[in-house]
Structure 1
Amino acid sequence: MQTIHSRRIIVVLLVATLLMGCEIHRRTIREYHTDRAGQINVSNVTEEQYWKERVDERIAAEIAKEKPEAGYDTWQNYWRWWYSVLRRKKKTPFKSDEFKRSEDLVNYIKEQRRAKGLPTYED
């Protein structure tokens, strides 16, 4: 009886340790990039880094005069839509030390746009 009880305690402690370990480390996304020579590069980035990269990519696409994604006819409509999507939830979609609220994400986008000389479409 004591052996079974001891084993249960050990199992519970192991599971708790594993679950805590998951919370300590930020979740990562594995990215694969192919350079011009065809070489594949693999990197692990946090969800926050990944999100920031997407913001940078979309700003670069707008500067390059590419069409906005998601079927929007103008970048102004696209950014206003993305702001509204981010604001629907109070919390950010990923764990972050920098971003505590969804409005922080919107403010980050606006800061990046201002830094590139682009309008924020809300001010």
Structure 2
Amino acid sequence: MFGIALSVAAVHFTGGTTTATFASADQALARFAEDFPDEKPASVRLTADGRAAFLDLGPARCGIVQSIGDCFLTRILTPRDVLCLTTEGNAVAVRMDDFTWKGGRFVFGSAADARAVATSLQTQDQIRKAA
């Protein structure tokens, strides 16, 4: 039992339990560009905790960079990838049709940022029904 506790402590103190975050939108853009160098995002919206960034890629396309431990996951999302999307105040909850990334709940600094992200992940028919 002591050996397991020692191993967990060693992982923790050597940075193994560190969670990556973004200090700025430019940092999120740079990380996204590593995986998608041909994309030219129009804007970046960081979550309040700095663990995810949503990038506007034009009509019905949205990029995401999300921290997973000390690494980042990047994806390009379209409305057809979305199984379920809800907004509440400055939060967006999204469930994706992707076995490698199921989505999550993302809290932004403002309700306007949350609405902009939600709009980029909805089809025109979904937006009309919600209005």
The answer to whether the superposition gives a TM-score over 0.5 is no
More helix by share: 1
TM-score (norm 2): 0.30
* Higher normalized contact order (CA 8 Å, seq sep 6+, divided by chain length): 2
Greater C-alpha radius of gyration: 1
More strand by share: 2
